[in-house]
């Protein structure tokens, strides 16, 4: 059976790319908070309507609403045999609720992709996204343009998902990036501490080439699955 996997990591660590790559290879859904919010709103479920009202007011979606949306998503047939969660949980409250949701579904494997801040800043400062669907298209050099002189080439680059034009995010400058990373560390450290003592927790060196990270990720998942043993995925 495919694993129940949580991917943690700061902006620019590559967790979204790795999550999608792993999920596609195992034939399981990659579930991101953004995706499930949009799906719930589009489907018009009760909790989706609650989320839409909150977002329309420009407010952050609360823990209880996010937990409800994730619970609904994980009950769908395609997620019963395993999944990859990207962007959830974000708080210890959400993590505790997820444990309850997963009580009879086997252990959660938690991977934390670790990258030095200087490398994260470098990556994010040269990142491209699709202006139509918002997909992360990686860095200029990976997308086929020169990171030293992307002007004139970026317009020719198109999103592999929807064909939209690839652009740089307006807020991907060093000062803003460093502040985003600071906020991430502050918010996420308690979550990492919550999971760290579990036999199903692993850290991955995300500063390596993407293929190496992917290989380490698979090895870590196998080791974590074996390590779970009779411990399950919860604290004793």
- The catalytic residues are 15, 90, 127, 169, 180
Return the structure tokens found at 191.
């979550």
Sign for the CA dihedral angle at 25, 30, 216, 147 comes to: positive
**Could you tell me which of 24, 20, 23, 19 has the C-alpha nearest to residue 7?**
19
Residue 7 has φ and ψ, to the nearest 5°, of -110, 120
What are the E-state strand segments in 13-131?
Answer: 30-32, 83-86, 108-114, 127-130
Dihedral of CA atoms 231, 222, 88, 24 in degrees, nearest 10, equals: -150
d(CA 172, CA 180) in angstroms, rounded, equals 10
Coil/strand/helix, residue 131: coil
């Amino acid at each position: 059976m495919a694993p129940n996997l949580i991917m943690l990591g700061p902006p620019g660590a590559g967790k979204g790319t790795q999550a999608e790559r792993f999920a596609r290879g195992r034939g399981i859904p990659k579930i991101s908070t953004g995706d499930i919010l949009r799906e719930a709103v589009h489907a018009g479920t009760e909790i989706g309507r609650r989320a839409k009202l909150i977002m329309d007011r420009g407010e952050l979606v609360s823990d209880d609403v996010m937990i409800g949306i994730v619970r609904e998503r994980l009950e769908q047939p395609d997620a019963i045999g395993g999944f990859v969660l990207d962007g959830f949980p974000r708080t210890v409250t959400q993590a505790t609720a997820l444990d309850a949701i997963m009580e009879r579904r086997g252990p959660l494997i938690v991977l934390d992709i670790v990258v030095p801040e200087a490398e994260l800043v470098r990556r994010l400062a040269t990142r491209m996204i699709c202006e139509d669907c918002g997909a992360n298209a990686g860095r200029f050099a990976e997308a086929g343009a020169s990171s030293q002189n992307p002007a004139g080439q970026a317009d020719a680059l198109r999103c592999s998902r929807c064909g939209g034009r690839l652009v740089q995010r307006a807020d991907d400058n060093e000062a803003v990036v460093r502040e985003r990373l600071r906020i991430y560390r502050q918010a996420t450290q308690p979550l990492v501490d919550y999971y760290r003592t579990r036999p199903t927790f692993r850290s991955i060196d995300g500063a390596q080439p993407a293929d190496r990270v992917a290989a380490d990720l698979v090895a870590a998942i196998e080791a974590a699955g074996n390590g779970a043993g009779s411990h399950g995925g919860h604290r004793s």
